[in-house]
Chains A and B, each alone.
Chain A
Amino acid sequence: MRIALVATCLGDAMFPQAPRATVELLERLGHEVVFPADQTCCGQAHVNTGYLDMALPLVRHHVDVFTGVADVVVAPSGSCVGCVRHQHAMVARRGGDEGLARAAEDLAGRTYELSELLVDVLGVTDVGAYYPHRVTYHPTCHSLRMLRVGDKPLRLLREVRGLTLTELPDAEVCCGFGGTFAVKNAETSTAMLADKMANVLSTHAEVCTAGDTSCLMHIGGGLSRLRSGVRTVHLAEILASTEESPRVPDAIMSEAR
């Protein structure tokens, strides 16, 4: 299958390990990955901060760049796919562009978060991965409640050789990131993060994984500040890791560099 990759702006600029792992994983499974180089950002931060007018050109650009380039589109991010699927058409309609809204809906119907693509579209749960670490999984809010990915990431993780999966208490509670919330309401965000970190630490996991780089940046930023000895790793990196080329993150926050 020909699959177009949304690297996500955060993944492209700050955390390239997640989109890189997505490419390696999908190619290993025999698929062709294309990266439309003109892509920038889905506009989620603008939409969710209330800048719907400013988001309109970003939505138009995203739709232009990704329409007609592949069979399906994938992003290693629940919140970016959530924005594409649940907000792009709304932004277009609010801006009075019904044509763009329809095109956005059409594109959204072919856009998948990574675990959705693997389990629902490609029909695979055992991707041949090997990751000999103790791991706990945080189901990010937008994956869970916007996309309803359910237990798909856990089904993928359970098939990973060598991996010990430990259950995260109060897993479904938000980590407190919320995009600009972490800055505009930093103290409340920190209070939520403290509880999330306490739950992560209670599992005695070495790695906390999730399907969204932004939430991992938040949880990982807190765990790093506390020198907790627990690192955050995107789900794609775990699934891309194999016995032939295992991924061994070299430091808590500075992987892949």
Chain B
Amino acid sequence: MTTTHLGMPTVASDPHGHLRGTESFPVAAHRALADTQLRQNLGHATRTIRAKRAAVVGEVDDWEELRRAGECLKADVMARLPELLEQLEASVTARGGVVHWARDAEEANRIVVDLVQETGADEVVKVKSMATQETGLNEALGAAGIAALETDLAELIVQLSDDRPSHFLVPAIHRNRSEIRDIFLREMPDVDPDLTDEPRRLAMAARAHLRRKFLSARVGISGANFAVADSGTISVVESEGNGRMCLTLPDTLITVMGVEKIVPTWSDLEVFLQLLPRSSTGERMNPYTSTWSGVTPGDGPQTFHLVLLDNGRSNVLASPDGRQALHCIRCSACLNVCPVYERTGGHAYGSIYPGPIGAVLSPQLTGISGPDDVNASLPYASTLCGACFDACPVRIDIPHLLVQQRAAAVDAHTRPTAQDVAMRAAAAAMATPGRFSLAERVVKLGRLLGRSGRIRSVPGPGAAAWFGARDMPPPPAETFREWWARRERTRRDRT
């Protein structure tokens, strides 16, 4: 299979923005697992959304065909991404938009900061966007003296509490409503001091807080769910209507999108607009679908900029297997069904992309620099249970990609690790039947530890991890092959 390059230099090193945390997954998970409030919030939220998704997916007769259609469309897009991007650039430009290309997060941020500064605005309103979370745009704008206001309710909660999103769709999934009430009381100017944790009252408080900003902001910034190459149409789907406000009221609209968000034609949206809402919010259709093509005189923003973000995507595209990860439409179904995510939450992954897809996408986007790279721990943050593949609306084989990224992590070992040594010893023992029998005899010595009928502990760091919560039976007096040989002897003797 040939590899495809986007025709622009790719930057495999930092600055990648928020694609890498500061701790390995097990270290961060240790803290998350001990947070009982977090565990309660996540358990409740993921259970609820799983049930909603299952109900609305179950009512679609041709769901599997739709998934296959989504998979094929995305595979087609990846196979000819450079050509489709050029087509998109031409069609957006023809309709009055301006297209910018950003190699990495830093370049994308610089482009956006410059564009905002050109307007003279010191404040922007934002539609919820993973791409700008990835690049750390808000921090870059802040450093330039520009206040960025998140207008999605959950994203606003995260921003007000100086927190980080922990989920694609529900960035404040780790918070419950009484925590949200406390954040609003603490951080929202002019909030009603008698605010309760009733969802409607919380939403009304956010609405009052945001409404003034929607009316005064001159620049809106968004991400994109889809970009149609042949018509130059960008689309954002959302639930709250805040996106529609940001996309229509300001004079200037700047959209930052990962290059993989493209679809070839308008009619391809038919497939994704069925797959996405059912997979993400568990709704038949999302409440707001905004689409725009360049600039329409006298209607909506009169200046439109589209920033196309690479930030490692060309490297992912270059991997024949790994490029599947670029098919992701950020629905978050894999997060909601993942038993690991449900227990640790999104922050444990470090990267802005958590859960099963994040565990394969993040290390691919950044590359794995060595055994101490925290992103090398992400592909191991899974039992390979496969629930993510079943839930994925575009059939990304995440378990396969996890194994591939584990191989990439092993390949990045610049010195032999304890795991390398153990695996090499095991492989050597299993390479020939003679050595395997010998190894079995060594294992049998473990009977000395299990004279009470169960083994409760064994020395060694790996063993300590197991025996922290689990017993092990002592090895059997007779292995299977010994039993088999004894039985064969008995039979021979009889004849």
CB neighbours of A94 from chain B (8 A): 407
Which residues of the partner chain A approach B443 to less than 8 Å between Cβ atoms? 13-14
Shortest C-beta distance, B391 to chain A (Å), equals: 11
Complex interface: chain B residues within 8 A of A201 (CB): none
Interface pair B480/A20, CB less than 8 Å apart: yes
Alpha-carbon distance A164/B481, docked complex (angstroms): 33
Q: Does the CB pair A221–B471 fall under 8 Å?
A: yes
Min CB–CB distance A63 → chain B (angstroms):
14
Annotate B419-437 by CB proximity to A: 1 below 8 A, 0 otherwise.
1000110110111110010
- Interface residue ranges, B against A (CB under 8 Å): 25-26, 29-30, 33, 339-340, 343-344, 379-387, 389-390, 399-400, 403, 405-410, 419, 423-424, 426-427, 429-433, 436, 439-440, 443, 450, 453-454, 456, 462, 465-466, 468-481, 483-485
A121 interface residue (CB < 8 Å to B): no
Identity of the chain B residue whose Cβ is nearest the Cβ of A56 in the assembled complex: B427
Inter-chain CA distance A80–B478, complex, in Å, is 22
Neighbouring A residues of B484 by C-beta, 8 Å = 23, 35, 37
Question: A191-214 CB contact bits vs B (8 Å, 1 = yes)?
Answer: 111000000000000000000000
Measured in the bound complex, the distance between the Cα atoms of B439 and A210 in whole Å is 27
From A7, A37, A178, give the contact of B383 (CB < 8 A).
Answer: A178
Listed A/B pairs (9) with beta-carbon separation below 8 Å: A15-B473, A50-B403, A57-B431, A141-B387, A173-B385, A183-B462, A221-B472, A254-B473, A255-B473
CB <8 Å contact, B389 and A145: yes
A74 to chain B, nearest CB (A): 14
CB neighbours (8 Å) of A256 from chain B are 476
Whether A41 is near chain B, meaning CB under 8 Å from some CB there, is: yes
Q: Return B343 CB to nearest CB of chain A, in Å.
A: 5
Question: Which residues of A have CB within 8 Å of B383?
Answer: 141, 174, 176-179, 181, 189, 192
Main DSSP-derived SS at the B contact region: helix
Q: Give CA–CA (A249, B363) in the complex, Å.
A: 47
5 closest pairs, A vs B, by CB? A178-B383, A50-B406, A221-B470, A145-B386, A186-B465
Give A58 to B25 CA distance when docked, in angstroms: 30
A188 B29 Cβ-Cβ under 8 A: yes
Q: Is the CB of A38 within 8 A of B339?
A: no
Complex CA–CA separation, A220 to B390 (angstroms): 27
B50 to chain A, nearest CB (A): 10
Q: B113: shortest Cβ distance to chain A, in Å?
A: 39
Given contacts A141-B386, A188-B33, A224-B471, contact A253 B453 (CB under 8 A): yes
Across-interface contacts of A14 in B (CB, < 8 A) = 443, 473, 475-476
| Residues on A facing B (Cβ under 8 Å) | 7, 9, 11-17, 19-20, 23, 35, 37-41, 43, 45-52, 54-55, 57-58, 61, 87, 90, 94, 141-142, 144-146, 172-174, 176-193, 217-218, 220-222, 224-225, 251-257
Q: How far is the CB of A143 from chain B (nearest CB, A)?
A: 10
Closest A residue to B405 by CB, please name it: A50
The answer to whether B426 and A185 touch across the interface, beta carbons within 8 angstroms, is no
Instruction: Choose among A40, A173, A180 the residue that contacts B436 (Cβ–Cβ < 8 A).
Output: A40
Residues of A contacting B429 in the complex (Cβ-Cβ under 8 angstroms)? 40
Q: Which of B26, B469, B474, B485 contacts A225 (CB 8 A)?
A: B469
- Write the chain B residue with the least CB distance to A174: B385
Contact A54 B424 (CB under 8 A): yes
For residue A224, give the distance in angstroms from its CB to the closest CB of chain B. Answer: 4
Residues of B within 8 A of A61 (CB): 430-432
In contact, A185 and B478 (Cβ under 8 angstroms): no
Residues from chain B with Cβ under 8 Å of A51 in the complex: 407, 410, 423, 427
Query: In the complex, which residues of chain B have a beta carbon less than 8 angstroms from the beta carbon of A179?
Result: 383-384
B466 near A225 with CB under 8 A, answer no
Q: Is the CB of B466 within 8 A of A186?
A: yes
Q: Report whether A185 and B381 are in contact in the complex, using a CB–CB cutoff of 8 Å.
A: yes
Given contacts A176-B339, A183-B462, contact A15 B476 (CB under 8 A): yes
Closest chain B CB from A15 CB (angstroms): 7
In the complex, which residues of chain A have a beta carbon less than 8 angstroms from the beta carbon of B33? 187-188, 191
Which chain A positions have C-beta within 8 A of B406? 48-50
Q: Which of B344, B409, B474 contacts A50 (CB 8 A)?
A: B409
Give bound CA distance, A87 to B384, whole Å: 13
CA distance A84 to B46 in the complex (A): 33
